Amino acid sequence: MHRRRAPVGAPPGTLIPDERASPTSMRLTLIGDDTVEEIEAPSIADVGKAVVSDKRLWLDVVGLGDLALLEELGRIFDINPLALEDVHNTGQRPKMDVYGDHALVFLHMTDGQDVGSKEQLAVLFDDRHVVTFQERAGDCLDPVRKRLRAPQGRMRRGGPAYLAYAIIDTVLDAYFPLLERIGDELEDLENLITTRPDPHNISQLHAIKRDLLVVKRATWPTREMLSSLTREDFDLVPDTVRLYLRDTYDHAVQLIDIVETYRELTSGLLDLYLSNVSTKMNEVMKVLTIVATIFIPLTFMAGVWGMNFDPASSPWNMPELSARYGYPLALLSMAATGVGLLLFFRWKKWL
């Protein structure tokens, strides 16, 4: 996801072309109490006719590359230029804005599997229409479409506010399997770090921390947005739908709690990894220190007996060099010294 900004001093509502934006396509769903009609790739004329019909509609716009089409949709649905600018300039903070007789909600949506799939979803609704704007193809809204197709479903009779609630609730619910996957990764990493810490674990933990930060940035402002939607003075949302939105608010709070728990767990695993590596390094240093300590007296003994004094010049000049079994005795004394030190270290419980 990338963010576009208008040039400095540009008039409000300016749309900036972006060659990286996906081509624009549309899907139109006409909703009646007893029937649902889905139109793939409708023309702008089809959308205009649907708007003046007596049916409710959901227009799903995928891709923001066609500025002319977006401006025409803004004219048909009477979308405020400032709202249309926010829709096109992706990277908005999750929020809700009210423009006269319609509201515009911004969310961060994922496919439920990968944080890298996160994109901006804008949901515009009034008393008859719902229009969603996605950055690119691929979303998590198939359950909503399936519920719309179900006969005698509440989705058909609930009105645009209920449909907007269902979209928002589905987007938030898609974060749960994503966090479950992250939780499984953290559990596996905990087992690895406890038994076989590896430098690769650090990069995995940092990647998870980045993913959790992305989810945190998406869910924290969403809680505030949902609180705004459930205000008593917000007439676009009936009391019956406001009750469901409060449940979605609870889902947002639950997501925030899970994210914070996983962030603390990730930090704890980083500390655990560093502690295990430090402990292992201390064990290695202890072994090397013991080996060096054992060889210090042996080196001293070998240095003493290696001095080039001539025993024939004086009886005080290392007479042991003339002993018949001096060499075996020297080796034996070195071995006894080493074994004695090992037993001493074991008695002190240093081994």
Percent of the chain surpassing pLDDT 70 = 95
Mean pLDDT value across residues 17-35: 84
Residue 12, in any domain of the structure? no
By CB atoms closer than 10 A (0-12, 13-18, 19+), residue 281 is: exposed
Pair (262, 310) in one structural domain: no
* 271 C-beta neighbours (distance < 10 Å), count: 10
Mean pLDDT value across residues 224-236: 84
The residue among 250, 275, 300 that closes a domain is 275
- Half-sphere exposure of residue 134, counting CA atoms within 13 Å on the CB side? 20
Greater confidence (251 vs 153) lies with 251
| pLDDT over threshold 60, residue 327 | yes
State how far the Cα of 287 lies from the Cα of 173, in Å rounded to an integer: 53
State how far the Cα of 351 lies from the Cα of 344, in Å rounded to an integer: 10
| pLDDT over threshold 90, residue 247 | yes
Residue 2, in any domain of the structure? no
State how far the Cα of 282 lies from the Cα of 305, in Å rounded to an integer: 35
Q: What pLDDT is recorded for position 34? A: 79
Mean pLDDT value across residues 77-105: 89
User: Which residue is it, tokens 């007893």?
Assistant: 34
Q: What pLDDT is recorded for position 318? A: 83
Pair (82, 191) in one structural domain: yes
The residue among 275, 295, 314 that closes a domain is 275
Q: Which two tokens stand for residue 280?
A: 């292992």
| pLDDT over threshold 70, residue 9 | no
Confidence of residue 1 (pLDDT cuts 50, 70, 90): very low
Confidence of residue 5 (pLDDT cuts 50, 70, 90): low
Confidence of residue 106 (pLDDT cuts 50, 70, 90): very high
Instruction: State the amino acid at position 147 in one-letter form.
Output: R
Mean pLDDT value across residues 96-107: 90
Average pLDDT for the chain = 87
State how far the Cα of 341 lies from the Cα of 296, in Å rounded to an integer: 11
Pair (271, 288) in one structural domain: no
256 close to 249: Cβ distance less than 8 angstroms: no
Residue 242, in any domain of the structure? yes
DSSP 266-322: HHHHHHHHHHHHHHHHHHHHHHHHHHHHHHHHHHHHHHHHTS---TTT-TTS-GGGG
Q: What is the CATH number of the domain that holds 171?
A: 3.30.460.20
The residue among 247, 275, 303 that closes a domain is 275
Residue 3, in any domain of the structure? no
DSSP 106-131: EEEE--SS-GGG-EEEEEEE-SSEEE
Residue 10, in any domain of the structure? no
Pair (265, 321) in one structural domain: no
Residue 102, in any domain of the structure? yes
State how far the Cα of 182 lies from the Cα of 189, in Å rounded to an integer: 10
Instruction: State the amino acid at position 231 in one-letter form.
Output: R
Q: Which domain holds residue 300?
A: 284-347
Quick check: helix, strand or coil at residue 36?
Answer: strand
Pair (196, 337) in one structural domain: no
Pair (209, 318) in one structural domain: no
Percent of the chain surpassing pLDDT 90 = 43
Phi and psi dihedrals of 64, rounded to 5?
A: -120, 30
Question: Each residue of 111-153: pLDDT tens digit?
Answer: 888 888 889 999 999 988 999 999 988 889 999 999 888 877 7
H or E element, residue 72: helix 67-76
Q: What pLDDT is recorded for position 264? A: 94
Question: Each residue of 159-184: pLDDT tens digit?
Answer: 899 999 999 999 999 999 999 999 99
| pLDDT over threshold 50, residue 261 | yes
Pair (316, 207) in one structural domain: no
Pair (309, 166) in one structural domain: no
246 close to 206: Cβ distance less than 8 angstroms: no
Residue 186, in any domain of the structure? yes
Mean pLDDT value across residues 19-37: 86
Pair (108, 245) in one structural domain: yes
Q: What pLDDT is recorded for position 151? A: 79
Question: Each residue of 51-68: pLDDT tens digit?
Answer: 988 888 999 999 988 899
Residue 60, in any domain of the structure? yes
Pair (104, 216) in one structural domain: yes
Q: Total structural domains in the chain?
A: 2
Pair (60, 95) in one structural domain: yes
Confidence of residue 12 (pLDDT cuts 50, 70, 90): low
| Segments in 121-174 forming alpha helices (H) | 142-149, 154-157, 159-173
Mean pLDDT value across residues 339-344: 88
Pair (191, 329) in one structural domain: no
Question: Each residue of 268-289: pLDDT tens digit?
Answer: 999 998 888 888 888 888 888 8
